[in-house]
């Protein structure tokens, strides 16, 4: 049992996938923040498009 726990502790398989998931999560948070800041400008563009149509 102790050997199994030691092996699991040292196992680095899947580490790369975890790093990619963290990067994707960070990018998603940044995009959500940017869209929140630009919300009024985006709304104005769509309003102009709707008015023009």
Report helix, strand or coil for 20: helix
Is pTM, for the whole model, over 0.75?
A: no
Which stretches of 1-53 are DSSP H helices?
2-10, 15-37, 39-52
Domains of the chain, residue spans? 27-53
| Whole-angstrom Cα Rg for the chain | 23
Backbone angles phi, psi at 22, to 5 degrees: -65, -40
- Cβ neighbours of residue 42 under 8 Å, at least 6 residues apart? 35
How confident is the model over 4-22, as pLDDT tens digits? 777 767 766 667 778 889 9
How much is the average pLDDT of 34-49?
95
């Amino acid at each position: 049992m102790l050997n199994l726990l030691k092996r699991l502790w040292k196992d680095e398989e899947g580490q790369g996938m975890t790093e990619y998931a963290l990067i994707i999560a960070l990018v998603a948070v940044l995009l959500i923040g940017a869209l929140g800041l630009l919300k009024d400008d985006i709304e104005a563009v769509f309003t102009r498009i709707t008015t023009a149509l």
